[in-house]
Amino acid sequence: MSQQKPSTIWLSIRSITEHRKNPHKLRNIRWKPPDVHHFKKNFDGTVFAETGEAGIGVVIRNNLGHIKAAVSEKICAPSSVAVLEMLAARRAAASTREIGVENCILEGDSQIVINALQARDVTYSEYGHLLQNTLSHLNSLEN
């Protein structure tokens, strides 16, 4: 009987620092593929100021850049961008089991969210409950 190795989840952040310094350089930020037999889940949130709504999205790609799945949802605008990004991260983490992919890199552009996930510190008052739920999804994949 072969042993199934547990899923591996990595967290990374896309650097947008350069974009903030020079908005015209955004096109130079490129998606970097994961290793062979791994997937990358990019998550992000956006606010539609005109309607008071927001959106979250997740795109899952393999090492060749082929899209395995994509998810987007329109939601009521949350209290902050950090909460919005954490909602997107939670959706990305939850979709791992739904879609059946293992060995994922979870990548987003919110330094605050990535730091919180890496620290696994749920004491953040504004989105601690979301962080705890996201970590629960990630932990279930490692067991």
- Pairwise CA distance, residues 93 & 98, whole Å: 10
Q: Is residue 79 predicted with pLDDT exceeding 80? A: yes
Domain annotation covers residue 2: no
Q: Is residue 34 predicted with pLDDT exceeding 50? A: yes
> What pTM, to 2 d.p., does this model score?
0.73
At 82-129, the pLDDT tens digits run: 889 989 998 998 887 778 777 888 889 888 888 888 887 767 667 777
Q: Is residue 5 predicted with pLDDT exceeding 50? A: no
Query: How many domains does the structure of the chain reveal?
Result: 1
Identify the domain containing residue 78 by its residue range: 9-142
Most confident of 12-26, 33-47, 93-107, 116-130: 33-47
Domain annotation covers residue 79: yes
Q: Is residue 72 predicted with pLDDT exceeding 60? A: yes
Please report, for residues 22, 40, 60, 63, 111, the alpha-carbon distance to residue 28 in angstroms, rounded to integers and kept in the order given. Answer: 11, 19, 21, 20, 20
Identify the CATH number of the domain in which residue 122 sits: 3.30.420.10
Domain annotation covers residue 41: yes
Contact 51, 33 (CB under 8 A): no
